[in-house]
Structure 1
Amino acid sequence: MGLWSLTRWRKPRAERRYPVPLTTHQLWMVSLSAPVNRDRNASRTTLYPFTRIDDDSARRWLADQWEITSRDKLVGRLGGLARTGYRARAHQILGVTPLAWDTALYVDIARRGFGCGMINEAEAWTALKSIVPVVAKTYASWHEYADHYLLGRKVWRDGLRGVVSDADLPAPQDVADAHLRSLLDPANRASPWNLAPWDAIYNPDHAR
């Protein structure tokens, strides 16, 4: 077992710090970021973004990927994704507005902001709840959400060509495709999309 693995397993599981299980509505909101949470240490069923407590990783990721180093920058980035995000460019290219791509990024950033303490738990839930009405109105299933996520991701990834080297490009489209197929697979009991079906958000909330 490598040093990374030993260090990882010394860290407490996220559920020990946040023991209250999510309600169905809460899991649904967290699940909006499931497409971007492909890493093996990512959690798709808790507000905290990792399976084990790793606040430093959340802080580094926000700084490296988004240049978010303060609460004000976090709030500003969330506001930008909520208002326009990348979907304006996608609309110019594809003629459609893939809200799902911006939504997945929004929820992921909010969770990581909570993970490193830039916002507290109540503020993180408020941020997630604020986007529910438009997302729930735009899509009728996780399949529709996944399709638009992939469209937005492709436009974003294609826009990086010529800006960064091929070696620095994010994971190939087929990797994202495979991850989404796993999330949508009815036989995948670990998929949060099976644990919180799309229509759950339209029904009264309840404990899981």
Structure 2
Amino acid sequence: MALWRWRRRGVKAARRYPVPLTVHQLWMVALSAPVSRDRGASRTTLYPYARIDDDSARRWLADQWEITSREQLVGRLDELSRTGYRARAYRLTGVAPLAWDAALYVDIARRGFGCGLIGEDDAWTALKNIVPAVVGTYGSWHEYAAHYLLGRQVWRDGLRGTEDPRPPASQEVADEHLRSLLDPANRSSPWNMAPWDAISHPDRTRCPLPYARMNP
């Protein structure tokens, strides 16, 4: 049984979900790209990892968000969509960085799907629900990235003085990751594959070849 589970975790996510995302779907998934810095993360599939690892998604939700049930997951998504961390950021800076909450929202929804707390249809519905607010707030991935970094900075400042056995990555690491996503020469960036204004145009299918390259 242990050997079977190890093999299942090693399966490429693209094998379980072989149909490439449409441009709109990729755009929605790409909202969580700033959070998806881990080497094993997937930024081009609804499933959050390049290889199937449902247990990691389940542990991450429990450890980072104390989410162990569908009800807790839905409650957290609702809170992030309504107020999230941007309420505190607004009190401190006068700016409400929706991008930070939106990135966390999509990341949590994807991991909830990854461990089976919600199904694929519910996950896509959750992602679609955040789109109007994001599109109504920002006009480019550059604007989205700037507000994400502002929200992250406020969040990190709030952690000072607390004991965290796994401190977050430095702001420099986050900055570099965002620069990579915004680099027009980075062909693997989902922000280049799904330009900002693509969500405002009719959806279309994507060529499966780039998708395959993103999930070696």
Q: TM-score, normalised to structure 1's length?
A: 0.94
Sequence identity (%): 76
**Within 2, Cα distance between the matches of 1:106 and 1:177?**
20
1:185 aligns with 2:183: yes
**Within 1, Cα distance between the matches of 2:32 and 2:99?**
9
Structure 1 unaligned regions, length at least 5: 1-6
Check the 8 A contact 1:32/1:103 in 2, yes or no: yes
1:37 aligns with 2:20: no
- Letter aligned with residue 26 of structure 1: Q
**Within 2, Cα distance between the matches of 1:143 and 1:10?**
35
Distance 1:17 1:65, change over 3 A: same
Check the 8 A contact 2:81/2:130 in 1, yes or no: yes
Residue matched to 1:3: none
Give CA deviations for 1:44-90 in whole Å, capped at 9, x if unaligned.
00000000000000000000000000000000000000000000000
Residue matched to 1:63: 62
1:54 aligns with 2:53: yes
Residue matched to 1:176: 174
Query: SS of the residue aligned with 2:34?
Result: helix
**Within 1, Cα distance between the matches of 2:176 and 2:24?**
26
Residue matched to 1:4: none
Query: SS of the residue aligned with 2:204?
Result: coil
**Within 2, Cα distance between the matches of 1:105 and 1:144?**
17
Give CA deviations for 1:26-59 in whole Å, capped at 9, x if unaligned.
0000000000000000000000000000000000
Q: TM-score, normalised to structure 2's length?
A: 0.91
**Within 2, Cα distance between the matches of 1:191 and 1:204?**
21
Residue 164 of structure 1: CA displacement?
2.1
**Within 2, Cα distance between the matches of 1:181 and 1:60?**
29
Residue matched to 1:103: 102
Structure 2 unaligned regions, length at least 5: 1-5, 207-216
Distance 1:76 1:9, change over 3 A: closer
Residue matched to 2:131: 132
Check the 8 A contact 1:43/1:51 in 2, yes or no: yes
Residue 163 of structure 1: CA displacement?
1.4
Residue matched to 1:23: 22
Check the 8 A contact 1:157/1:169 in 2, yes or no: no
Q: Give the aligned CA root-mean-square deviation in angstroms.
A: 1.3
Check the 8 A contact 1:43/1:50 in 2, yes or no: yes
**Within 2, Cα distance between the matches of 1:170 and 1:161?**
11
Residue matched to 2:80: 81
- Letter aligned with residue 175 of structure 1: V
Check the 8 A contact 1:28/1:192 in 2, yes or no: yes
Check the 8 A contact 1:14/1:52 in 2, yes or no: yes
- Spell out the pairing of 1:129-208 with structure 2 (5 A cutoff): 129-164=128-163, 168-208=166-206
Check the 8 A contact 1:8/1:52 in 2, yes or no: no
Q: Report how many aligned residue pairs link the two structures.
A: 201
- Letter aligned with residue 198 of structure 2: A
